[in-house]
Chains A and B, each alone.
Chain A
Amino acid sequence: MKKILAGVFGVLLFACSIYGQEKPIAFINARIIPIVGQPIEQGILLVQNGRITAVGDARTVRLASNVQIIDLQGKVIMPGLVDTHSHIGEGSGADGSSPIQPDVRLLDSLNARASSLQRAQSGGITTVNVMPGSGHLNSGQTLYLKLRDGNIVDDLLIITEDGRIAGGMKFANGTNPIRTTPGNFPGTRAKSAALIREQLVKAQEYREKIRKAGNDKSKMPPRDLVMEAFVEVLDGKRVVHFHTHRHDDILTAIRLSKEFGFRVVLHHVSEAWKVADEIAKAKIPASIIMIEAPGGKLETMEVSMTNGAALEKAGALTGFHTDDYITDSRLFLRSAGLAVRNGMSREKALYGMTMAGALMLDLDKRIGSLETGKDADFIVLSGDPLSVYTHVLETWVDGKKVFDRSDPKDYLIATGGFGATTDREVHIDCFDGDISGGGN
């Protein structure tokens, strides 16, 4: 009975088919790169109700008579790209008042109609970890988003199995949080570590109080947003996304995660090539950014474009990010191309753009590969994903097309030009009429 009610409720709630078409669609004749499993020539991807219902070829996939067929002869399909670290959506995080602000949520600042989100769609990104601010030890809570077409942040959220809004926690070390002017910000690396440890020790004590209180509400400690957020970190519910460049800073991040048992993804890791074995041994994932020249700041003077290759060789789980606006979301696939140029294997580079990111965001059961039952998040490419000449032709999220290069409006977003950076118009599903005219 419960299930039926939930079903009815679901139909009502999603009558506008937020989660995709009810009629099955078969994408046929494409080269399919499923990421998990070998590429399929003349493949078939079957999608219904926002999910992948089959992946294979004419021998393995049977098409029902009501299926809508889209012929993608000569094209390539691969999973939607996962950007593990971006600043699209005009979101903000912590302010300048203190170096540690885990209570601040990017959720409370995102502009869901920002053109930067559309640009990311046009680059084939379907899931993104939007990071708050910069220049703190802890800049606040990050937000994992699906790049659906939406008007408000709620339209883009990912809800976890236990009902939480999916997101992580942004940490940083090295010179990023250090300030030389006197105040409450750290002045050295050791001070940075000490300040974070102090807060996490407090969080351990806070958690212990809650545990001891059990069901006795009178013994519960007063609500503390900072502590609550850090308890989620300690409990592994909120993965730490750690901005870190130099090899010694990378090791500090690993050391802290071991001491407090928090789960961590290392970001940027400019000197990963120096400590790739240590990263792999600690079984900690690393997300890299491909920048075409060294420097720009002291901590990246020894950045190497071989980081991907070094991490792969060491056996570390390696993903990619744009750090948009540092690199352009529209050109995210370029990261894989440049990584392969510098010694990474083709397979691991493409895995890094998709499945590795999904694993880093705890979304590997839903996204990251083209497998039956997973979300229908995929992209259609004009050719090989590693070629400069290849364009993203279509981006699909939850079985809905959110970018189509053949649509002039989307084309403008993809290539730029007059008006390409203005906010998206209000998007309304199930409504084809003129908004100002009052509908039809």
Chain B
Amino acid sequence: VKNEKRKTKSFILICLTLFTIHYSPFTVSAQIAVRGETVWTMTGEPIANGVVLIGANGKIEAVGAANQIKIPAGYKTVSAKVVTPGLIDAHSVVGLSGYLNQPHDQMQIDNSSPIQPDLRAFDAYNAEEKLVEWIRGFGVTTLHTGHAPAALVSGQTMIVKTFGKTVDDVVMIPTAMIAVTIGDASLAGQGRSPGTRAKEAAMLRAELIKAGNYKGEPRDLKAEMMSKVVKREIPLLITAQRAQDIMTALRIAKEFNLRIVLDGVSEAHLVINEIKASGFPVIIHPTMYRAGGELENLSMETASKLKQAGILVALQSGYETYVPKTRIVLFEAGLAAANGLSQRDALATITIDAAKVLGIDNRVGSLAVGKDGDVAMYDGDPFEYTTHCVGTIINGQVVSEVVR
């Protein structure tokens, strides 16, 4: 009888699923033409009266001026004043961190130990978290999310698309980076280690040495992950705000010949030459982050100053523990554009340059043939407060039609 019940239950579930898919408000079939009065391809100058064709496989088939591209029969046409590549949030905790801010939806940090590279982001990501839908409505299609910058090694990060039911539906890169934080945010307190900055560095170095000696037997999940870092298979995402912490990150990267991405870097403007010389890319704190604590010297002009120095720069929504529970990279880039970055360069920090920093520019970040059909649509200058995002497309599928 129990089995029967289970079968009936499964049948109902399947029916419901089919019903949901069939009556989904979103267009399921790809083959879509996106027209824009201005199309920011991010591969060159914006195209006036442009069109982007996305094929049945969800990839971009053609990009160009509307008078040069024939929209094939059967393609759905959508249009907007301004069209950009789907936006990329280069560093977030959304999906691990939920909007309710209650213990049950705050999965971005586990405080039991300061070093936990074995914590996988995809074991914690909630694809249906409201905040994911929320940022999607502003045009964000790709999200680099994971464990928070709140412990020395807090865990792994991952890269996802912002539409889909399960983590398997949305994952692009299951383990993108290992999140390391150097500075106040990693101090354990209560007499536990790390209790100082120097101790943080010593513990991290010890972990890397251990990983270098790791032979695979017996299995050690922590060492397994860190050995991938040592072998340069996975980069460290090192959050460091103070100038001295940035220098510690660079020092350790050099010592162990690591691939790293610098993150936060609120005092980057004090060590621009050193960052430039390292060649590492940077994901800067949100432009609107609060200036306090170890972030007291942050500047709205950091993105512009680093860009000017020739450093690869992405922006992020960051880690918020209260209100707002997430920031929106669209707004953060807008403010960077108001503080020294050109409109194009500001847009790059949340599209093509973000894709480069994350190593996914072969897939996303610009509107180019062969790339994923990820598009954001606006009814004006995307950065203006009074402009709306009017549509978001992922893999050729319209995944948001709210006006936000």
Contacts and interface: CB of A to CB of B under 8 A. Distances in A.
A382 to B, nearest CB: 10
B292 interface: yes
A293 B131 CA distance: 8
- Could you say which interface size class chain B belongs to? 35 or more
Nearest to A331: B288
Nearest to A411: B301
B385 A296 contact: no
Interface stretch (B22-30, B72-80, B327-335): B327-335
B325 A387 contact: no
A292 B324 contact: yes
A388 B325 contact: no
B325 A293 contact: yes
Interface in A65-100: none
Contact of B324 (A293, A387, A415): A293
A45 B101 CA distance: 48
A343 to B, nearest CB: 10
Contacts of A156: none
A340 B270 contact: no
Contacts of A328: 288, 290
Given A293-B99, A416-B291, A341 B386 contact: yes
Contacts of B292: 325, 421
Contacts of B323: 291, 295-297, 300, 326
A296 B387 contact: no
Nearest to A296: B323
A292 B99 CA distance: 12
A196 interface: no
B298 interface: yes
A334 B331 CA distance: 10
Interface string A329-359: 0010010011011000000000000000000
A294 B327 CA distance: 10
Given A295-B98, A388-B384, A417 B324 contact: no
Interface residues of A, number: 32
A293 B327 contact: yes
Nearest to A300: B323
Contact of B338 (A340, A341, A389, A421): A389
B388 A418 contact: no
B101 A295 contact: yes
A213 interface: no
A337 B100 contact: no
B74 to A, nearest CB: 35
Contact of A388 (B101, B267, B297, B338): B338
Contacts of A294: 99, 130-131, 134, 325
Interface in A187-242: none
A334 B385 contact: yes
Nearest to B339: A415
B19 interface: no
A175 B300 CA distance: 34
B94 to A, nearest CB: 9
A387 B328 contact: no
Contacts of A418: 267, 269-270, 297
A328 B286 CA distance: 13
Nearest to B134: A293
A137 B324 CA distance: 24
B213 interface: no
A297 B322 contact: yes
A314 interface: no
Contact of B299 (A300, A325, A331, A416): A416
Q: Which of B298, B327, B385 has the most CB of A within 10 A?
A: B385
Contact of A416 (B298, B325, B328, B386): B298
Contacts of B100: 295, 298, 301
Interface in B266-315: 267, 269-270, 288, 290-292, 296-301
A419 interface: yes
B118 interface: no
B322 A292 contact: no
Nearest to A417: B299
Q: Which of A297, A416, A417, A419 has the most CB of B within 10 A?
A: A416
B43 interface: no
A337 B296 CA distance: 27
B112 interface: no
Closest 8 CB pairs of A and B: A337-B385, A295-B99, A296-B323, A416-B299, A417-B299, A293-B324, A296-B325, A421-B296
Given A326-B323, A340-B386, 13 more contacts: A293-B325, A295-B131, A296-B101, A297-B323, A301-B99, A326-B322, A341-B387, A389-B338, A415-B301, A416-B297, A417-B301, A421-B291, A421-B296
Interface of A: 291-298, 300-301, 325-326, 328, 331, 334, 337-338, 340-341, 386-391, 415-421
23 contacts: A292-B327, A294-B134, A295-B101, A295-B323, A297-B322, A297-B323, A301-B99, A331-B288, A331-B335, A337-B384, A340-B385, A388-B335, A388-B338, A388-B383, A389-B338, A389-B383, A415-B301, A415-B339, A416-B291, A417-B301, A418-B297, A421-B291, A421-B296
Interface of B: 98-102, 130-131, 134-135, 267, 269-270, 288, 290-292, 296-301, 320, 322-328, 331, 334-335, 337-339, 383-388
